[in-house]
Structure 1
Amino acid sequence: MSKSSKNFTEEEKAAIALKAASGQESKLQELAEEHGVSVEEIRNWMRETGVTAVNEDDDSVSIETTDEYASSVDNGVSLDAPDYRKIVFWTTFGSAVILLIIVSVFYVHSYTMSNISDRTSEESQFYNIQEIQQREAETLNNYGVVDPEEGIYRIPIDSAITEIVNESN
């Protein structure tokens, strides 16, 4: 270690202050002479580093605290102030996301139901058209009674065409 107080590092000052605190006043004097500094300067280093002298006869302990720490010890908890800006932001953001999801589900449901409805109606119309065409084809291609009281009968279309051609000859 260097002899000039200007060249002592913070670690060196802390080590000297710790040695001075562990002994009595005579130890403080010895350290001052050994390192070429004044006793008052070592005491300043002790204050700067927070090292206090230990008196072996005294069993009391002194702790320096902040008001916040003392309040925390008294209450048994560390008091935290809530950050209302963050709470409001995340509540708003979360609500917007949930609302967006709900609206999306409704739109998807509506779209799906309209497609199913359209397909069902198309299929039922196609089925009805096929049924009507089949019924009409049976009517055109089979013999049947239209009105028995009037004497009106139905004959297949091919037979009717053949009859008309034969009568005109």
Structure 2
Amino acid sequence: MAEKYSSEFKAKVALEAVAQGRSVIEKVAEKHNVSEDQVIAWAAQLHEEAAKIFGTETAVEADDSLVEDVDITTEDEEFAYAVGHGVMSDTLNYKKLIFWSTLGTSLVIIFVIGLVYFSQYSLFEAQKQVSSQSSVSDYSELKAQQEQELNSFGVVDLEEGIYRIPIDSAISRIATDQ
């Protein structure tokens, strides 16, 4: 004849079996004087219907019509404040907070300054490279070459007998010939 067990008893045995695992089902069955098959069946039933247990709670929480106001009386002022505001007070370690905030801020500032210096250096190097390749330097070289030609002796066309003399010498010669 099968014995009748209360739902509380079944839940207690099933929870104990589930909590301890399959290796101790035999011990749980002996402890409560039931068969191993019965413990396994109750654990399986608990496992299958566990979602339903929490499902009814969610439905009750979602229904605002079932919410009621409750007045709590306590002598602990900190607890009363926490319940009234929905938070517990937290004691902060201000020394650590200030230290880490200062350190983090300093590191960010140093990083930003480094980026600024790097960008300025890169810009300077780029300008230097462009200026060395620019037409201004080509113009300066051409001007220096022309100055050298104007201030030196040389042959322009040997067959025609055309020679080059410095401009100062040419001006002096013209001035003395007249």
TM-score scaled to structure 2, two decimals? 0.35
Q: Which has the larger radius of gyration?
A: 1
